[in-house]
Structure 1
Amino acid sequence: MMLSGKTKKQTFVFLLLLLFICAVSPRAYAQEEASGVTLTAQAGFDGFYKAGNWLPVQITVGNNGPAIEGELRMTVGSFASGEEVIYNTPISLPTQSNKQVTLYVDMPRILNTPKVQLLDGNGRLVIEVATNTLSQLSSEDLLYGIVSPDPGELEFLEDVTGSYKRASVAFIDIDGLPETAPAWNSLDVLVFNDTDTGNLSTKQQEALRQWVSTGGQLVVTGGPGWQKTTAALSDLLPVTVTGSETVTDLPTLSHSTGVPFRDEGPYVVATSSLRSGELLYHQDGLPLLARQAQGMGHVYFLALDPKLAPLLDWDGNEVLWAVVADEVPERPYWAQGAQNSYSAGTAVSSLPSLVLPSALSLIVFLFIYILIIGPGNYIILKRRGRRELAWVTIPAFVILFSVIAYFTGFQLKGNDVILNQMSIVYGSLDGKPARVQSLVGLYSPRRSTYDVIFPDGVLARPFDRTMGDMSGSGSISAITQGSEFVMSKTRVDVSAVETFVAQYYHPGPDVTGQVSLELDGNDIILNISIQNNSDITL
């Protein structure tokens, strides 16, 4: 059979493509197998987070191949402005190892499926995966977090909004709760149901207590699994739990809510006695729902298991849980911290130690300069009969006064790097942990590069001084997370200020006060007295 020249050419190209596929595909597959690396990433609380709050990203890495010394990296930013911020953390992966790492990132509104990369020691990409899809909520949304083996039984809570416009329900594993308190700020209500809270790490427990103290609502349930559910939280509860018992009916609860139970008894109830706080529902003195204030938040104990009768699929659940939702505080605008980056940047860039010379000093300096370089220089040279030397004396005086001005300015601005910090503190006045937003300005007298290190428990990032919100990439190389939070290779120009915003929790200052209202005819008089017992000037 004879082939034309065109047919021969097409056949030749086809054979080349087939040979290329056969040669390359097995090699690519072999490389994937040889790497032996698996990577998964879960962001937010079941994908939910609130604008302006830190996003926890839980990353799980497995390595069945050669050992890797590298880093985990997330690059986030605004595609509109082109600004990007790199968040990374070093990681060591020996052969046959599995590790879990949490990165904390500030997520822009436009990005809903960020990617996580594993890079080796030479900066080469080993593997890349996308996180779960994110859903950003506003400050008008209520977010429930449910830690339960069967969280779907509490999905009805999305209809219990309290004073908020909407509500969302996040199903969370106990390992997914952050160890850094500022990363909890998206949550409003957290429910532990039939879960061993003894698995909470020390840092998770500390973060939980700090979150509650600034307005978080914690609900701990009872029922047959009360022992494991209260394991790490017994000292927070408003009751002392002693055991459980089976009762045939709970008429007080059904009558109080006005909704009869769907399922008949018997019901398993955790038995307890009120230690502090108040009883919201009880049956002949047996606490069914008790509440205790903790700072600005509350801790609830629900003696029943929501997954079991009589609460399972009960139409009165929304009435019962509205008691919790109604206590979620509506935070004032200032409690959200600084919102305008230009005002924040201007405030933190105003350094009291760097005082500009007064207008009078500048006028006197310029007057002396003009007097000497002009008539003074002319009169002296004329008397000496050497006016031709003006071409030498004038440049000399210019250089002299320039040197004087330079060294005077250098003395005024100083030779030290300065950190200026301003903080907004939100919390109660009982010494409980308070939520802090700090604006930090790094002043440098010369063009240089710095590593700005924040201690453990602090989440920080740069922001740019614009007319918008507190966003921006600043002039940093990356935000490196480990035992400390590091703004790596921060570039600062001569006499410039690089700005950062940090969030953390800190015991509130010792401040006491009283507030009273008085009626004076048709006027209402508000009397406030505040006493600062701390060593901090407020």
Structure 2
Amino acid sequence: MPPHPTWTATLGSVVAATTLGIAALAAPAGAAATPAVAETSPAAAQPGDVERLGLEATAGFDGRFIAGTWVPVTVSLAPERLVAGVLDVDVRLENGGRLTETRPFEVAGGSRKRFRVVVPPVADLTVTVRPDGEEPVQVRPGTQQRVAGGAFLVGVLGAVPADPPAVESVATRRRAVYVSVDPEWLALSAHALDSVGTLVAHAQDLQRLPDPARRTLAAAVAGGVDLTVVADRPGPVDLGVTSPATARGEDGTLTAEPGAWVLTEADLSGPPTHRTDPAAGVGRVIAAAAPLGRGRVAVVAVPLGAPGLGRDAALWSHLLQPAADRDGATQPTTTTQMLNTSQAVLSGSDLALPTLPWLTAFLVLYVAAVGPGNALVLSRLGRRELAWVTVPAVTVAFAVGAFAASAVASPPTGVAASALTWVDGHGSELALAAVRAPRPGHHTLTLPGQGWDVVAGALREPAVLTRGGDVEVGFELEALEAGTVLAWRTGTGDPPLQVTASAGAGGVRATVRNVSDRPVDDIRLLSAGEERRIGGLEPGQQRDVEVHSRTELRPSDPWDGEHQFLGDRGPRGGPELPMSLATVLQWEILDRSPGLVWAVGSLPGQTGSPVRADGRPAGDEGSLVAVGVRPTLAGDRFLSPYTVSRAVVATAGMGGERGGPSPNALVDVESVVLRYRLPVAGDLQALVATLDEGWREPGPHGPPVAVPEVVCDDRGVCSDVELPRPVPAGPAGPGETELEVWDVRAGAWAPLADVFADGEADPARTVSPLGEVHVRAVPQDVFEFAGRGVGARLGGQR
């Protein structure tokens, strides 16, 4: 991982560090990859201590989680007598750092108390119970046991049915593993569902959820989790979120919303109908689905595991789908990518590089005092032999003065910025904060309120997280070392920007309006790989913008523009907060995938949650705001590839780097499966695609730009040369890439050239009943998929 940012220091702190020889420590090396799906193994501790405390610790749901995701950890205590003390959940992160969440506890004898914690992607996990006046008891929930077959998790809100169907996902053939999800997790954190591909819940159970749990669930779906709701009772369907069905009839038929994808009994035995009104004469509608943000909401009329359709593998294979791939072969994880990028982002803050003028002034004064000044005084006194006393004395005086100045003039300082995002109206907040001090010691960052999911930068000592009225993260720092925190939580109020967009054969157009009472600066519109800057908007102002006029997605050089927002250099030479937070979010929600149109801007001053560094307000760098909406059809009956969401849902082969060299590229994988979801149902006439549009031309930062190398011959003579990187061979990027499309009628992969023989494909052959298209690639070297898109012609019009 990259080194910690060096922060701006005042005269006193620079002098102290220079004179006393204090330097920041390097971060530990990263950890090894974890397997794709892990199961916890039995805790390892002294049996007598564990039984006396009634201690149980489980990582994941029913002991299972997906490697590379946030992990729910449950710790329960059922002691024989009253026990009080401290509970520590210690996580060794994949970036080499450690984070310990500590909680006080008191449990009466004969009772049971559960503690729930959501931790970042783990390399190792330890739970320690420290009873007052007793020796600590430690257990280690296992995190390294692989579940064979590339399984994915299906969460069931409440209990898993006794006889659920054995399901393999469409096209990817990944086996579904059912786990129970306690409703309390929904109120705790949206990251709690990070391991779950699809969550299955009954409509009445959703109605009983408290409002915080509903908001968290909606945020999780908007972020990429699929929600499948069982509506097995006649009457209106009320989900608390956008629903693709309005009601269920007495005969079990669903009434779908206009534009929702529907699945009928006829679709289970034959090719999909893809009718504009599927309920008319094509059989009973038993499922309906519609997108919500980057996820999907589906309603099904039969309970999971019930006799008949409840155990029909064909039905549930369409409804139970894996989330975007987090396989352990694709390292580092999204969370680590974001944390690493945040270190670079902080280099542009007010606490950036040491102020060289102050350091120069100090050195000049010191040299002048210890040299000419000292010599002049001693020569006038006629006592030059005292130089052996005065030179050390001057040095000590400067050192003591510098240390005193740093103590008085350089208290610990902090910086903070936030990113507020809304996806289809559902908001979340990302806070970036850091603290540094001129002297070694204990320092803290305090995030206001509760509900934060926290990850900390790697240091030699673990960061310690405590939850009370606020969330506090403590660090043991060396001089000038930075303690860094990334924290997420759901719920951010109303967005300051209102965005409407439409897409069709003429491109993407949008209207952005400032609906807040504050100006929004530096607004940009993003649609997949396209960007349009429109400047600032005062309250009440709006702007109509043509984002672009393209009908196909734009390919991109994987090495070019990896950190596009880092190219915006401020007066200090570094990337400027808060807009540079878009670089952090590019590894998550702002990865420039198609499906959503984004308006991104900045709000100066305090907008997000105020952060404190060692009890003092941290310097606020403002907030980035990002509002994402799904564009509507432009009216020309063309379903633009810019409206069709895309996700990597399966990878095979070790050595891959998801997100490296860019969020829309993979390196050294044997095969990749891309899943496309058409946003609205209709009378599909033909599928159109630019699936073979990979990266063609080298950019300024990638092949075949010359790369400096040092070459040595057999005689040991070395010289600097420039070795060009290989030129891409063909439209698929570096090397040749084989592309296949899932044939829904044959249930097998078919070559792209056969499916799109005349440039268009038959929807009955390529589109599943719920609007999904799967594409498999067998790449060589780098597989860049930014330009690979899918669209459709509707209603017979071109």
TM-score computed with the length of structure 2 as normaliser:
0.47
Q: 1:498 aligned to 483, 496, 505, which one?
A: 483
- 2:166 matches 1:156: yes
Q: 1:532 aligned to 601, 609, 619, which one?
A: 601
Distance in 2 of aligned mates of 1:198 and 1:287: 23
Q: Give structure 2 stretches of 5+ with no counterpart.
A: 1-45, 254-261, 498-511, 513-524, 526-544, 557-591, 605-621, 625-798
* 1:89–1:319 CA distance, 2 compared to 1 (3 A): closer
Distance in 2 of aligned mates of 1:220 and 1:481: 34
The C-alpha deviation readout for 1:320-369, integer Å capped at 9, x for no partner, is 43xx639x56799999244286664454466524663336x655654565
- 2:156 matches 1:146: yes
- 2:450 matches 1:440: no
1:245 Cα offset (Å): 3.0
Q: Give structure 1 stretches of 5+ with no counterpart.
A: 1-27, 261-277, 466-472
Q: 1:474 aligned to 438, 461, 474, which one?
A: 461
* 1:86–1:302 CA distance, 2 compared to 1 (3 A): same
**Local SS of the residue matching 1:177:** helix
**Local SS of the residue matching 2:196:** coil
1:258 Cα offset (Å): 3.2
1:269 maps to: none
The C-alpha deviation readout for 1:125-155, integer Å capped at 9, x for no partner, is 5x776658775799x9743223365536544
1:427 Cα offset (Å): 5.6
**Local SS of the residue matching 1:416:** coil
* 1:353–1:312 CA distance, 2 compared to 1 (3 A): closer
The C-alpha deviation readout for 1:239-298, integer Å capped at 9, x for no partner, is 333653368xxx9823334349xxxxxxxxxxxxxxxxx989536597532234333332
1:295 maps to: 293
**Local SS of the residue matching 1:244:** coil
2:356 maps to: 358
Q: 1:105 aligned to 119, 122, 129, which one?
A: 119
Q: Where do residues 392-471 of structure 1 align in structure 2 (5 Å cutoff)?
A: 394=391, 397-398=394-395, 402=399, 414-421=409-416, 428=423, 430-434=424-428, 436=430, 438-454=431-447, 455-464=449-458
Distance in 2 of aligned mates of 1:201 and 1:482: 22
Q: How many residues are paired up?
A: 457
**Local SS of the residue matching 1:156:** coil
Distance in 2 of aligned mates of 1:80 and 1:339: 9
1:77 Cα offset (Å): 3.8
1:443 Cα offset (Å): 1.0
1:460 Cα offset (Å): 1.7
2:247 maps to: 241
**Local SS of the residue matching 2:482:** strand
Instruction: Tell me if structure 1 keeps the 8 A contact 2:242–2:297.
Output: yes
Distance in 2 of aligned mates of 1:52 and 1:422: 26
* 1:132–1:172 CA distance, 2 compared to 1 (3 A): farther
Distance in 2 of aligned mates of 1:524 and 1:86: 42
1:212 maps to: 221
Instruction: Tell me if structure 1 keeps the 8 A contact 2:435–2:444.
Output: no
- 2:214 matches 1:183: no
* 1:192–1:386 CA distance, 2 compared to 1 (3 A): closer
1:68 maps to: 83
Residue 457 of structure 2 aligns with an amino acid whose one-letter code is: F
Instruction: Tell me if structure 2 keeps the 8 A contact 1:190–1:218.
Output: yes
* 1:62–1:337 CA distance, 2 compared to 1 (3 A): closer
1:444 Cα offset (Å): 1.9
1:253 maps to: 264
* 1:358–1:212 CA distance, 2 compared to 1 (3 A): same
Instruction: Tell me if structure 2 keeps the 8 A contact 1:218–1:298.
Output: yes
**Local SS of the residue matching 1:71:** strand
Instruction: Tell me if structure 1 keeps the 8 A contact 2:86–2:131.
Output: yes
Instruction: Tell me if structure 2 keeps the 8 A contact 1:45–1:170.
Output: no
1:32 Cα offset (Å): 9.7
Instruction: Tell me if structure 1 keeps the 8 A contact 2:416–2:432.
Output: yes
Distance in 2 of aligned mates of 1:381 and 1:133: 70
- The answer to which of 301-310 and 398-407 deviates more is 398-407
TM-score computed with the length of structure 1 as normaliser:
0.66
Structure of greater relative contact order (alpha carbons < 8 Å, 6+ residues apart):
2
Q: Percentage identity across aligned positions?
A: 20
- 2:169 matches 1:172: no
Residue 416 of structure 1 aligns with an amino acid whose one-letter code is: P
State which structure, 1 or 2, has the greater radius of gyration over its C-alpha atoms: 1
- 2:315 matches 1:317: yes
**Local SS of the residue matching 1:441:** strand
**Local SS of the residue matching 1:316:** helix
Distance in 2 of aligned mates of 1:74 and 1:175: 22
Distance in 1 of aligned mates of 2:555 and 2:143: 52
* 1:99–1:241 CA distance, 2 compared to 1 (3 A): farther
* 1:132–1:483 CA distance, 2 compared to 1 (3 A): farther
1:180 Cα offset (Å): 1.5
Distance in 1 of aligned mates of 2:76 and 2:374: 77
Distance in 2 of aligned mates of 1:147 and 1:218: 11
- 2:101 matches 1:93: no
Instruction: Tell me if structure 2 keeps the 8 A contact 1:146–1:172.
Output: yes
Distance in 2 of aligned mates of 1:29 and 1:216: 39
* 1:300–1:350 CA distance, 2 compared to 1 (3 A): same
Residue 57 of structure 1 aligns with an amino acid whose one-letter code is: V
1:463 Cα offset (Å): 2.9
Q: 1:50 aligned to 66, 73, 85, which one?
A: 66
1:43 Cα offset (Å): 2.5
1:62 Cα offset (Å): 3.2
Distance in 2 of aligned mates of 1:118 and 1:388: 65
1:464 Cα offset (Å): 1.5
Distance in 1 of aligned mates of 2:362 and 2:153: 63
Residue 102 of structure 2 aligns with an amino acid whose one-letter code is: N
Instruction: Tell me if structure 2 keeps the 8 A contact 1:71–1:91.
Output: yes
Instruction: Tell me if structure 2 keeps the 8 A contact 1:234–1:240.
Output: no
- The answer to which of 508-517 and 209-218 deviates more is 508-517
Higher helix proportion (structure 1 or 2): 1
Distance in 1 of aligned mates of 2:434 and 2:277: 48
1:441 Cα offset (Å): 2.0
The C-alpha deviation readout for 1:11-44, integer Å capped at 9, x for no partner, is xxxxxxxxxxxxxxxxx999999x5x53444431
Distance in 2 of aligned mates of 1:529 and 1:205: 24
**Local SS of the residue matching 2:279:** strand
Instruction: Tell me if structure 2 keeps the 8 A contact 1:458–1:485.
Output: yes
* 1:403–1:152 CA distance, 2 compared to 1 (3 A): same
Instruction: Tell me if structure 2 keeps the 8 A contact 1:463–1:499.
Output: yes
1:117 Cα offset (Å): 5.1
Distance in 1 of aligned mates of 2:241 and 2:359: 66
1:214 Cα offset (Å): 1.5
1:102 Cα offset (Å): 1.0
Aligned-CA RMSD value: 5.0
1:458 Cα offset (Å): 0.7
1:494 Cα offset (Å): 2.9
1:218 Cα offset (Å): 0.8
Distance in 2 of aligned mates of 1:80 and 1:329: 21
Instruction: Tell me if structure 2 keeps the 8 A contact 1:194–1:305.
Output: no
